[in-house]
C-alpha cells in the first residue's frame, strides 16, 4: 500500500493498481476488483475514522491556539507575497520576516 500507480501497474512492485477511494495507489488487500463489499466497506470505515480524527485534532488546535496560528499564517502569507513580488530579495527583509515569525510563535 502506498506505491504510486503507472499505466495500470505499481511503479516498484509491478502489482495491479487498486481502487483506493479515488486515490491511485497499490495495495494487496484493498483492491476493489474481486473484493467483497464487506471488505470494501470496512476499508472505507477505517478511512472515515482517520479523517474524523484529523478533523477533531484540527478543531482542538483551533480552540487551543487558533489566534496564534492565524497570526503565524498572516505573517507567512505576507512574506510569501512580498517575496514573489521581488520585494524581499535582500537579506534585511528576510531577517525582518524571521523576527516577526519568531515573535508570533512565542
The pLDDT score that the predictor gives to residue 20 is: 47
pLDDT of residue 25: 53
Q: How far apart are the first and last CA of the chain?
A: 40
Q: Is the pTM of this model over 0.75?
A: no
Contact in structure between 27 and 16 (CB atoms under 8 Å): no
CA distances to 1, 19, 29, 90 from 86, rounded to whole Å, are: 42, 44, 50, 9
**Could you read off the pLDDT tens digit of each residue along the chain, which spans 106 residues?**
444 555 555 555 555 555 544 444 555 444 555 668 888 899 899 999 999 999 999 999 999 999 999 999 999 999 998 888 877 677 788 888 899 999 999 8
- pLDDT the model gives residue 21: 43
What pLDDT is attached to residue 67? Answer: 95
Q: 5 pairs with which residues across the strands? A: 10
> In the chain, how long is the greatest CA-to-CA distance?
61
71 contacts 104 by C-beta, under 8 angstroms: yes
C-beta of residue 9 within 8 angstroms of C-beta of residue 16: yes
Amino acid at each position: 500500500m502506498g506505491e504510486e500507480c503507472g499505466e495500470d501497474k505499481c511503479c516498484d512492485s509491478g502489482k495491479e493498481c487498486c481502487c483506493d477511494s479515488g486515490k491511485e495507489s497499490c495495495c494487496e488487500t484493498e483492491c476493489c476488483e474481486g473484493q467483497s463489499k464487506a471488505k470494501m466497506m470496512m476499508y472505507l470505515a477505517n478511512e472515515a475514522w482517520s479523517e474524523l480524527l484529523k478533523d477533531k485534532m484540527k478543531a482542538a488546535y483551533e480552540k487551543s491556539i487558533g489566534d496564534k496560528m492565524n497570526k503565524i499564517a498572516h505573517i507567512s502569507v505576507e512574506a510569501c507575497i512580498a517575496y514573489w513580488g521581488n520585494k524581499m530579495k535582500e537579506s534585511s527583509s528576510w531577517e525582518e520576516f524571521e523576527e516577526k515569525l519568531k515573535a508570533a510563535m512565542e
